[in-house]
Amino acid sequence: MKILVIGGGGREHALVWKLGQGAGVTKLWCAPGNGGLTQEAECVAVDAGDVTGLIALAEKVSPDLTVVGPELPLVNGLVDAFAERKWAVVGPDKGAATLEGSKIFAKEFLQRHSIPTAELYGTHDSAGGAYGALCAVDWPVVIKADGLCAGKGVFVAPDPDAATDFIERVMEKNELGAGGSRVMLEEALVGEELSFILLTDGERYAPLVPTRDHKRAFDDNQGPNTGGMGAYSSDELLPADLRRTIEKTIVEPTMKGLAADGIRYQGFLYVGLMLTKSGPKVLEFNCRLGDPETQAILARVDFDLAEVLADAAGGHLKPEKMKWKAGASACVVMASGGYPGKFETGKEIHGLADAARVADVKVLHAGTKRTGETIVTNGGRVLGVTATGNTLSGALQRAYEAAGKIQFEGMHFRKDIGKTHQQSSAAGD
């Protein structure tokens, strides 16, 4: 089987790593890929959002299967174009990807099918309307830009001044581009967040192991939001009764709702949840795997990922094939100095070989570039040092041991990945 992976971050390196272990896999391409995965896949310089370029690439190399990492090609209709040509691809089509591409569409879907979610106060396509609505909401209020905003489109506003400022930036100054031309206001939920990700072929589905990510830049959830500074997976994150509740109140109605609306959803569906006092509620849908959750999830794969994804693309997923390594995993993201703000690139990365020698560790590359024999930084999130273990503390210990061997100018990483969970389990709640 020859496979094309679309995207170029840590998530895609994780996919390439695990797909490459498939018994029948003879060739892997990654578009555009990155410097760290060139030994595992042939990188081709086509942008992930460039549907025309990707069609031309697939025409040229004829992969047996294409796996899409990021949301942009999905929302841009890549899967529709591939399906038209009868090419096997993992990912939802453009219509189904609207669950991520429009938060208002997703909210209407959730309401239509009585799936628990934050109460909607209203949707607005003018700043004036949104300002006016602020007099009738509870505080804090959550303001969400409707379209894709690369993680910058949601603000939990503590008071009217902060809310007005955000609406002005999004709707009047267009700081987020077209994604901010409509907004919705919704109730602020309180609780712990959990990502519940499943793979579906349109009919059957199978949940992946549960994960949690860490969005803030610094320890103790300080500093600005990032794309994700780390993630961990442990079965303890999702006790059996909570899992049943999520499947019964959220996943099953979602699958039924999609079918009732005539939406055939195939691929990964990421359900962002808030575990509130009155049960789990949906914060958002993503139409793909998360990054860096994928790194932690795939580290625990104990099945032939290529075979399972080919089954899903072909409409005959066999959930029973998906066996997971018991225990836990962790991914520690090493970022450039200044990230998520301004940062420099081109810094030589030392210690990669030493880090790779730590048992049960895989150093996954994101923002890296190969220049001759050296690997240099080429993005904000540079590496995802990923480890497995029988316990979460074992996985974390290995990941941090390996991270400690890596060095580049200005680097920073969080020292408390998975810590909240360890503390809360130790405290017995």
Which alpha helices (DSSP H) does 247-384 contain, by range? Answer: 252-260, 293-298, 305-314, 352-356
Q: Name the DSSP letter for residue 25.
A: -
Between CA 204 and CA 266 the distance in angstroms is 10
**Minimum CB–partner distance for residue 366 and Mg ion (Å):** 18
Q: Identify which of residues 61 and 188 has a Cβ nearer to ligand ADP in the complex.
A: 188
Both structure tokens of 426? 């130790």
Binding to ligand ADP by CB under 6 A, coded x per residue (else -) over 135-154, reads -------x--------x-xx
Within 10 Å of residue 278's Cβ, how many Cβ atoms?
Answer: 8
**Minimum CB–partner distance for residue 86 and ligand ADP (Å):** 32
Binding to ligand ADP by CB under 6 A, coded x per residue (else -) over 71-110, reads ----------------------------------------
**Minimum CB–partner distance for residue 404 and ligand ADP (Å):** 29
Token look-up 């505080």 returns 139
Q: Identify which of residues 193 and 252 has a Cβ nearer to Mg ion in the complex.
A: 193
Would you call 412 exposed, middle or buried from its count of C-beta atoms within 10 A (0-12, 13-18, 19+)? middle
Q: Name the DSSP letter for residue 136.
A: G
Interacting partner of 311 out of Mg ion, ligand ADP, none (Cβ under 5 to 8 A depending on kind): none
Between CA 163 and CA 156 the distance in angstroms is 8
168 phi, psi to nearest 5 deg: -60, -45
In the list 284, 291, 293, 304, the residue contacting ligand ADP (rule: CB under 6 A) is 284
Tell me which residues touch Mg ion (CB under 5 A).
272
Residues 301-340 that bind ligand ADP (CB under 6 A): none
Q: Identify which of residues 274 and 308 has a Cβ nearer to ligand ADP in the complex.
A: 274
Q: Please write down the HEC assignment for all residues of 168-188.
A: HHHHHCCCCHHHHCCEEEEEC
**Residue 292 touches ligand ADP, criterion: CB under 6 A:** no
Helix (H, G, I), strand (E, B) or coil at 429: coil
**Pair type for strands 141-145 and 154-157:** antiparallel
Between CA 44 and CA 41 the distance in angstroms is 9
Residues 23-62 that bind ligand ADP (CB under 6 A): none
Amino acid at site 35: G
Q: Identify which of residues 179 and 418 has a Cβ nearer to ligand ADP in the complex.
A: 179
**Minimum CB–partner distance for residue 286 and Mg ion (Å):** 7
Both structure tokens of 277? 């006092």
Binding to ligand ADP by CB under 6 A, coded x per residue (else -) over 214-253, reads ----------------------------------------
Asked if 374 and 36 touch (Cβ cutoff 8 Å), the reply is no
Q: Identify which of residues 188 and 242 has a Cβ nearer to ligand ADP in the complex.
A: 188
**Minimum CB–partner distance for residue 103 and ligand ADP (Å):** 7
Q: Identify which of residues 156 and 206 has a Cβ nearer to ligand ADP in the complex.
A: 156
User: Per DSSP, what are the bridge partners of residue 124?
Assistant: 183
Between CA 164 and CA 162 the distance in angstroms is 6
Interacting partner of 337 out of ligand ADP, Mg ion, none (Cβ under 5 to 8 A depending on kind): none
In the list 16, 25, 51, 118, the residue contacting ligand ADP (rule: CB under 6 A) is 118
Total binding residues toward ligand ADP, as defined by CB under 6 A: 14
Q: Identify which of residues 106 and 349 has a Cβ nearer to ligand ADP in the complex.
A: 106
**Minimum CB–partner distance for residue 188 and ligand ADP (Å):** 4
> Which residue from 369, 362, 368, 370 is spatially nearest to 381, judged by alpha carbons?
368
Interacting partner of 189 out of ligand ADP, Mg ion, none (Cβ under 5 to 8 A depending on kind): ligand ADP
In the list 272, 319, 337, 394, the residue contacting ligand ADP (rule: CB under 6 A) is 272
Q: Identify which of residues 2 and 152 has a Cβ nearer to Mg ion in the complex.
A: 152
C-alpha distances out from residue 368 to 164, 175, 387, 399, Å: 39, 28, 20, 19
Both structure tokens of 421? 């969970």
Residues 176-215 that bind ligand ADP (CB under 6 A): 186-189, 193
Which alpha helices (DSSP H) does 66-177 contain, by range? Answer: 71-75, 78-84, 94-101, 103-112, 127-133, 160-167
Q: Identify which of residues 32 and 272 has a Cβ nearer to ligand ADP in the complex.
A: 272
**Minimum CB–partner distance for residue 272 and Mg ion (Å):** 5
User: Per DSSP, what are the bridge partners of residue 364?
Assistant: 384
In the list 61, 156, 162, 275, the residue contacting ligand ADP (rule: CB under 6 A) is 156
Rg (CA), the chain: 21
Q: Which residues bind ligand ADP (CB under 6 A)?
A: 118, 142, 151, 153-154, 156, 186-189, 193, 272, 283-284
